[in-house]
Amino acid sequence: MAMEIEVIQGDIVTANTEVIVNAANNEFWMGAGVAGAIKAAGGVVIEEEAMNKAPVMPGTAIATTAGKLPFSYVIHGAVMGQNLRTSSDLIRRTTIACLNLAEKLGVSSISFPAFGTGVGGFPVKACATIMIKAVRSYGTQVKKLQRVQFCLFDDVGHKVFMDTLRDIRAADQRV
Dump pLDDT digits (tens) for 149-162: 999 999 999 999 99
The CATH architecture to which 4-174 belongs is 3-Layer(aba) Sandwich (3.40)
Q: What is the 3-state secondary structure (H, E, C) of the chain?
A: CCCEEEEEECCHHHCCCCEEEEEEECCCCCCCHHHHHHHHHHCHHHHHHHHCCCCCCCCCEEEECCCCCCCCEEEEEEEECCCCCCCHHHHHHHHHHHHHHHHHHCCCEEEECCCCCCCCCCCHHHHHHHHHHHHHHHHHHCCCCCEEEEEECCHHHHHHHHHHHHHHHHHHHHC
Higher pLDDT, 49 or 82: 49
pLDDT for 53: 97
